[in-house]
Amino acid sequence: MKNDLLLRVCRRQPVERTPVWIMRQAGRYLPEYRQVRDKSDFLTMCRTPEIATEITLQPIDIIGVDAAIIFSDILVIPEAMGLPLRFSEGTGPILDKPLRNEKDFDELLPVNVEEDLGFVLEALRMTRRELQDRVPLIGFAGAPWTLAAYMVEGGGSRNFIEIKKLLYARPDLLKGLLARLADAVADYLCAQIKAGAQVVQIFDSWAGMLTPPQFREFALPYLKQIVKKVTGTGAPVIVFARDAGHSFAELSEIGADVLGVSWTEDLAVARKAVGDKVVLQGNLDPCALFAPVDRLKNEVEEVLAKAGQEPAHIFNLGHGILPPTPVAHTQAMVDFVRELSPAFHQKKEE
Amino acid sequence: MKNDLLLRVCRRQPVERTPVWIMRQAGRYLPEYRQVRDKSDFLTMCRTPEIATEITLQPIDIIGVDAAIIFSDILVIPEAMGLPLRFSEGTGPILDKPLRNEKDFDELLPVNVEEDLGFVLEALRMTRRELQDRVPLIGFAGAPWTLAAYMVEGGGSRNFIEIKKLLYARPDLLKGLLARLADAVADYLCAQIKAGAQVVQIFDSWAGMLTPPQFREFALPYLKQIVKKVTGTGAPVIVFARDAGHSFAELSEIGADVLGVSWTEDLAVARKAVGDKVVLQGNLDPCALFAPVDRLKNEVEEVLAKAGQEPAHIFNLGHGILPPTPVAHTQAMVDFVRELSPAFHQKKEE
């Protein structure tokens, strides 16, 4: 592998500089992505391995990040369980048959990863071939709580009233769903690793919609269940539970190699909470990419300084990159990490 | 005063039970509110003291809360500074002339509270008369950072890119605006107290959109400036910086009597961070009001238990009440606080 920085950091091996990749790096801020998007709809892009591969590779060439992440969507799992999925311009994903009663839950289909999600596995195999070991390839899936929230709400939501009603009124039903999702996600991630993913990330995007005790009851155990199964493959696992900084200490105990840190949290505080149990990933404010370049440089340096001198940090944003982000600033951010991070690693070796 | 529980807790005097009120208690979940709303638009309701008074009193009679909060909106200050305001059904407030360049900032008008916001002061006087000292009356205003975010974005926002651009590129310009807003808000709150408000709350609703260092630079100093001036009147001040739990320790030092705690935070953790410097307010999950009533009772009890045995807690939701909330459950919540909280205060006096 030409650039194995990410893998080395995940294994806590020394590195000469901090690796950097960007959540949603294969996405709408890139004109090259938008050109492909103009010709086909989002789900066709996910389901066509040639297109998914092309999109996945774009930021490697254009931005120069240290990892590729497969172009896909977390909602392919609910879709495989029988909930029709569509994407509406502007409003995001819509599941037209949300789960509302016990019968809806009973009718969910078991997931057969090879059959139902073969297009993702094929995209991973194709991307690995095209990457020619330039950088590692990351696979991913949504966390059970986040997938359940989409499945019950029928899409994104502001206040998540429906899933909360279920949580309060029928915790047994919700836990049944979460357990099924945890099984499916674990199988799916293991299959991704078999197909070529060298690292996997679990996105618990709606973790912040739970109170701290709810997070520990309805999210954490299912993350743990998945991590246990997936780390058995030997591939490193990143868990990004967005806005769940209240439970960093608990998250550091579930066996994940890396924890993502939201931009709303303090990286130094997170480090204090987790000790040296895990690598941390993040957490630049996505809006810092709209700052003048000299300000952006300061912000990058501040993240590196808070991450400290251990080889235990992966640079990233603290959330997905925003569609209107200027490409030149994104490139500048990656360059600043290359330029500024070696100083932190040298000090380590003195 | 017949029921001065809220005032006594704010002054750290013994109480026989925990007082309870609800953010947005005079609002859309009440059929009686919707009846008034059907006949006049939101801004007319704010600007007509008779209507504002009627709406303010509704939850006292219907829900039985321990305080009234004047019906108004935080955006009356930007409007008084020359930014036309309108409310669009479904999308929330819109300021059609957002601040985008230095000239826009220069053209902002100074606020003359008596002249520009006399309708709020008149509503306070009228409400005090009608309340006949049944419960205390709370006045309120938006915090400088939150008001600035609305003024620059032109309304609510998902990612707050415009205000963040300003923050990174022209912190001087933003700080000038924040200082002007702090002056206007302090004057406004002092005038509200003179007109009859017995407690005031400052809402920093978008505090959570700032990174922790940004919160300490662009929000905290201006909150402090306002609190300093307003506490000079002798009236207690509540500061609710939503989702800024990372800075509870710092917030407890600005001189506020009470700090609001979001439902995404742990009340016991907040208490640990602030010591005994302030009263805490909150923080039931607003979605708990959709739970079956026996579950709701457990959730109310859990909040009371986390608040502990000091007379230093005001029961509230950890965010505004949601429009589809069932009224019967809201009443049940208030009844549960009345029923369950005396036990916590008795123990204190043993």
Point out the residues of B that are catalytic. Answer: 24, 28, 37, 73, 150
CB B285 within 8 A of CB B299: yes
CA distance B34 to chain A (A): 21
Q: How many CB atoms lie within 10 A of CB B57?
A: 20
Secondary structure letter of residue B202 according to DSSP: E
Secondary structure letter of residue B16 according to DSSP: S
Helix, strand, or coil here: B37? helix
Helix, strand, or coil here: B241? strand
Residues A99 and B303: their CA atoms lie apart, in Å, by 30
Summarised one tens digit per residue, pLDDT across range A170-205 is 999 999 999 999 999 999 999 999 999 999 999 999
- Classify B209 in phi/psi space as left (phi over 0), alpha (psi -120 to 50) or beta: alpha
Q: Do B263 and A160 touch (CB under 8 A)?
A: no
CB B85 within 8 A of CB B47: no
Helix, strand, or coil here: A109? coil
Helix, strand, or coil here: A286? helix
For the residues of B183-197, what is the DSSP string, one character each?
HHHHHHHHHHHHHT-
Q: Do B164 and A287 touch (CB under 8 A)?
A: yes
CATH assignment of the domain containing A230: 3.20.20.210
Summarised one tens digit per residue, pLDDT across range A253-274 is 999 999 999 999 999 999 999 9
Question: Is B164 in CB contact (< 8 Å) with chain A?
Answer: yes
| Residue B273 CA neighbour count, 13 Å, CB half | 19
| Bridge-based pairing state of the strands B199-204 and B237-241 | parallel
Of A161, A208, A296, the CB nearest to B264: A208
pLDDT tens, per residue, chain B with 350 residues: 899 999 999 999 999 999 999 999 999 999 999 999 999 999 999 999 999 999 999 999 999 999 999 999 999 999 999 999 999 877 789 999 999 899 999 999 999 999 999 999 999 999 999 999 999 999 999 999 999 999 999 999 989 999 999 999 999 999 999 999 999 999 999 999 999 999 999 999 999 999 999 999 999 999 999 999 999 999 999 999 999 999 999 999 999 999 999 999 999 999 999 999 999 999 999 999 999 999 999 999 999 999 987 769 999 999 999 999 999 999 999 999 999 999 998 754 44
Q: Do A264 and B243 touch (CB under 8 A)?
A: yes
Helix axes B161-169, A293-307, angle to 10 degrees: 90
CB B311 within 8 A of CB B9: yes
Tell me the residue type at A35: Q
Number of structural domains in chain B: 1
Locate all alpha helices (DSSP H) within A204-264, ordered by sequence. Answer: 212-218, 220-231, 248-251
Residues B294 and B287: their CA atoms lie apart, in Å, by 14
Query: Does residue A298 have a cis bond before it (omega within 30 degrees)?
Result: no
Which residue does chain B place closest to A291, by CA atoms?
B168
Q: Burial, B335: exposed, middle or buried (Cβ in 10 Å; 0-12, 13-18, 19+)?
A: middle
Task: Determine the structural domain holding residue A82 and report its residue range.
Answer: 5-349
CB B107 within 8 A of CB B100: no
Helix (H) / strand (E) element for B280: namely strand B279-284
Summarised one tens digit per residue, pLDDT across range A37-84 is 999 999 999 999 999 999 999 999 999 999 999 999 999 999 999 999
CA distance A299 to chain B (A): 10
Question: Is A302 in CB contact (< 8 Å) with chain B?
Answer: yes
Query: C-alpha A202: how far from its chain's center?
Result: 5
Q: How many CB atoms lie within 10 A of CB A90?
A: 5
Q: Which residue has the tokens 């050109």?
A: A35
ipTM of the complex: 0.95
Residues A67 and A19: their CA atoms lie apart, in Å, by 8
Position A348 confidence tier, pLDDT thresholds 50, 70, 90: very low
Tell me the residue type at A139: G
pLDDT of residue B91: 77
Q: Do B269 and A263 touch (CB under 8 A)?
A: no
CB B21 within 8 A of CB B347: no
Question: Is B266 in CB contact (< 8 Å) with chain A?
Answer: yes
Contacts B160 to A, Cβ<8 Å:
287
Contacts B299 to A, Cβ<8 Å:
168
Contacts A292 to B, Cβ<8 Å:
168-169
Q: Do B290 and A165 touch (CB under 8 A)?
A: yes
Of A10, A28, A1, nearest in space to A136 by CA: A1
